[in-house]
A = this chain, B = another copy of it.
């Protein structure tokens, strides 16, 4: 069995060209830089990646391109959950066959208030149809965005039925009580809150790290925090990492990450978002950058 993910993972921002097609070269460059910055994994095709705005064919093509460009497949955790079982199975199978270290799977999110049986069946059918012992499936719980969450009762059934496959969970709910309950109830799972502002709280009780939008632009500091959180220097680092995060939380996170990548890499192409999302307004962008500069924030990324 592959090692399960730990540490800091970036839900990698997806660059688009002017024609709104994904920009493979810039994506490869960002992924390379993130690993070099200390990211422990690349959660490509998450919410921050605008994954659901990218078509099926492009998602597969980009994952292949990353592996071909030398990204270690074991470090890739692509999002593969869609509304349709057959599409979820196709993306998941494709990721497993490429050797990806895991997949991060949203529940089918069109039909709201599904029954526990229906949700369980969605994940169980995916696992059965992929039918590959290499599959490491991380559940993606984000009820506010998806409109459908993954209740503890469903996780319990999945862990009982597929203990070797259900590898972990990303909790984007921001509901600490839920994160805590998942960590404590399912010790075999690697659980990641979606913010580094909670990573120390999670590590203290057995959490695995964090998968955070802002890891796109602060991976090195977050990685350092995970190394030293329980040492004397941990407290100050936690404060500074959290301060950057809190600035970003004042904006639409997906657009804010792209604005920061554009500003600090000097590459304005990062400011393109796929509809229905849109870049920050110019006043928002300027205020965001000013706030980060006030914190002494900088990065040294070149993607173009």
Contacts and interface: CB of A to CB of B under 8 A. Distances in A.
A278 B118 contact: yes
Q: Size range of the interface on A?
A: 35 or more
Nearest to A126: B275
A109 interface: yes
Nearest to A106: B110
A262 to B, nearest CB: 18
A29 B200 CA distance: 59
A53 interface: yes
Nearest to A147: B147
A57 interface: yes
Given A110-B146, A147-B147, A275 B125 contact: yes
B90 A55 contact: yes
A122 interface: yes
A234 B115 CA distance: 40
Contact of A56 (B56, B85, B117, B147): B56
Interface of A: 20-21, 47, 52-58, 83-87, 90, 107-112, 114-115, 117-119, 121-122, 125, 144-148, 254, 274-278
